[in-house]
Amino acid sequence: MQLIETVAGVKYQVAAWKAAGLTIGLVPTMGSLHEGHESLMDAARAACDKVVVSVFVNPLQFGPDEDYDNYPRDIERDSAICEAHGVDVVFHPTPEEMYGPNYNTYVVMETLTDALCGASRPGHFRGVCTVVNKLFNIAQPDKAFFGQKDAQQLAIIKRMVADLNMNLQVVGCPIVREEDGLAKSSRNTYLSAEERQAALVLSRAIFAGEQAVRAGERNADALKRLMGDIIAAEPLARVDYIEVVDGATMQPVETLGSSVLTAMAVCIGSTRLIDNFIYEEGE
């Protein structure tokens, strides 16, 4: 496995693979890898000849009061995990390598980025779209793999690829959870023991919402109330949002139908966590 820190180095290796007729899978990450990331690597390994994992904490997607400086970083640990899962290249650039002097080009999407995390974190998806677009151009993947936990991000990236006629497939992979139900997240490491226990309120609300939908509930407001009441019962939890939206447009719906995303962001202490489930009509 190679650890490459420069754009030119990755492009050189990718050109050699392309010349040999090999397919490339890309797994974009910000490091602090966990089993959710590992599932993406395994999916890429199964589908492609070569696998590139980017490990880059992207400053553009953090707001001024967010946790960029404190975001966990351990490239030695992350590299060992990547090697254990058959990754061929870890791309680990510096911010200066990705955004050189006088950098002035950004990718901005409208509508899909206005709701959910986009409403709570202004500018976040501008940073996501910009860095993912750059990673696609650098690694030239045939397929790129993203987790369903970041459902809005996944929808936005799929739309960007379609709108800009990019020649790759975006693959969404299922949420990976701890044994007790908490969705895997790099930010889980921020939680104290008490907060870690309190964080289970997210998955309890998600599972209750899913059960209600399976039982026939189709009213979005009723679903949000049910889940909100569960969150409200936990003193350490503060709701950022609980929303039921169209899975393609991210716009609110009144009644579940077709493809619908039910998503939440909840602060446990100072740590903001997200979770979701998707309802497909006819399932």
Q: What tokens does 225 get? A: 């109330």
Residue by residue, pLDDT tens for the chain (283 residues) are 999 999 999 999 999 999 999 999 999 999 999 999 999 999 999 999 999 999 999 999 999 989 999 999 999 999 999 999 999 999 999 999 999 999 999 999 999 999 999 999 999 999 999 999 999 999 999 999 999 999 999 999 999 999 999 999 999 999 999 999 999 999 999 999 999 999 999 999 999 999 999 999 999 999 999 999 999 999 999 999 999 999 999 999 999 988 999 999 999 999 999 999 999 986 6
Of 112, 139, 173, which residue constitutes the final position of a domain? 173
Same domain, 234 and 162: no
Angle formed by the axes of helices 7-19 and 124-139, nearest 10°: 50
Measured between alpha carbons, how far is 66 from 120 in angstroms, rounded to an integer? 12
Measured between alpha carbons, how far is 105 from 99 in angstroms, rounded to an integer? 9
In a domain, 178, yes or no: no
In a domain, 167, yes or no: yes
Residue 283: what pLDDT?
66
Same domain, 30 and 142: yes
Same domain, 233 and 139: no
Measured between alpha carbons, how far is 173 from 160 in angstroms, rounded to an integer? 18
Same domain, 90 and 148: yes
Q: How many folded domains does the chain comprise?
A: 2
CA distances from 149 to 20, 166, 190, 215 (A): 35, 23, 18, 23
Same domain, 37 and 126: yes
Same domain, 225 and 162: no
Contact 187, 271 (CB under 8 A): yes
Q: What tokens does 67 get? A: 């946790």
Give the side-chain half-sphere CA count within 13 A for 172.
15
pLDDT in tens, 181-220: 999 999 999 999 999 999 999 999 999 999 999 999 999 9
Same domain, 42 and 107: yes
Same domain, 10 and 33: yes
Structural domain boundaries enclosing 268 = 186-276
Measured between alpha carbons, how far is 12 from 254 in angstroms, rounded to an integer? 50
Residue 182: what pLDDT?
98
Same domain, 160 and 268: no
Q: What is the model's pTM?
A: 0.95
Residue 154: what pLDDT?
97
Q: Can you give the CATH number for the domain in which 210 is found?
A: 3.30.1300.10
Same domain, 143 and 8: yes
Of 149, 173, 197, which residue constitutes the final position of a domain? 173
Residue 258: what pLDDT?
86
Catalytic center residues = 37
